[in-house]
Amino acid sequence: MAISRKQSLAAVDDFLEHHEDELDNSYCLTWNQQERPKWRFEGRTEPLYRWVAGAKYIGLDDGIVVRHTCDNPYCFNPDHLVKGTTADNNHDRKGCTYK
């Protein structure tokens, strides 16, 4: 089931309410408590960057991947996240950076 934008916004709010003080916002936005933070909201666990990307865009359909323009997989700064396809992501994994 796809993530709706409303769910994403609520999940991000929920996360920030609990952990806003622990975030490192120097260029990339990261959370030191977990290397690749996941957040559980309404029974659904997703990487935090997916919730953030869902809030930034209209929502996220299954099959849509979220790419990091900063090449930092721990980052969930909305400015560094773009939507892509699995093919794009495989391309990234081959060592080509996002441009």
Residues forming contacts to Zn ion in the complex (CB under 5 A) are 28, 70, 72, 75, 77, 80
For Zn ion, the closer of residues 3 and 29 by Cβ is: 29
**From CA 65, how far away is CA 19, in angstroms rounded?**
25
For Zn ion, the closer of residues 23 and 70 by Cβ is: 70
Spell out a b/e string for 44-61, using b for 16 or more CB atoms within 10 Å of the CB, else e.
eebbbbbbbbbbbbebbe
- Minimum distance from residue 43 beta carbon to Zn ion (Å): 28
- Minimum distance from residue 62 beta carbon to Zn ion (Å): 24
- Minimum distance from residue 50 beta carbon to Zn ion (Å): 15
Which of 14, 32, 12, 13 lies closest to 22, judged by CA?
32
Contact 76, 39 (CB under 8 A): no
For Zn ion, the closer of residues 25 and 62 by Cβ is: 25
Residue type, 32: N
For Zn ion, the closer of residues 3 and 52 by Cβ is: 52
- Minimum distance from residue 79 beta carbon to Zn ion (Å): 8
